[in-house]
Amino acid sequence: MENLVLEGSAKTPTVNFDSDNGVLELKGRSIPENSIEFYKPLNDWIDAYAANPKPNTIVDVKLEYFNTSSSKCILDLFKQLEKLNAGNTEVSVNWYFEEDDEDMEEAGEDYQAIIDLPFKMIEVEEI
């Protein structure tokens, strides 16, 4: 299976979904013009990955900012991973946030409260 690698921009996050190692990374800012259009290939990739996932799948979310429409798309991504977690892989989420960024910390906690996946909150100096 092909890895999904998208170069980030001022409005879109860097995406590095590595099927060989079972590591899915989102990093940067997520304020695309059309969030649904941007996140569709990510969801499609997870659908394909679900056919033959690694025993452990790690999701690294290192976003410094995302807008409201992105938050819904990220939730959909987590819901897809939740289904995957019920199958033949163990999915865990590492939610990175900068030490003074209470909004991103709270966003991670909100996802943690509504998604049935193990979350690890990781405070870092800079994303």
Look at residue 45 in the predicted model and tell me its pLDDT. 97
- As a whole number of angstroms, the distance between CA 5 and CA 26 comes to 10
Tens digits of residue pLDDT in 19-41: 999 999 999 999 999 999 999 99
Tens digits of residue pLDDT in 80-113: 999 988 877 899 999 999 999 999 999 999 999 9
| CA atoms lying within 13 Å on the CB side of residue 50 | 16
Look at residue 85 in the predicted model and tell me its pLDDT. 86
> If you average pLDDT over residues 45-66, what whole number do you get?
95
Q: What pTM was computed for the model?
A: 0.94
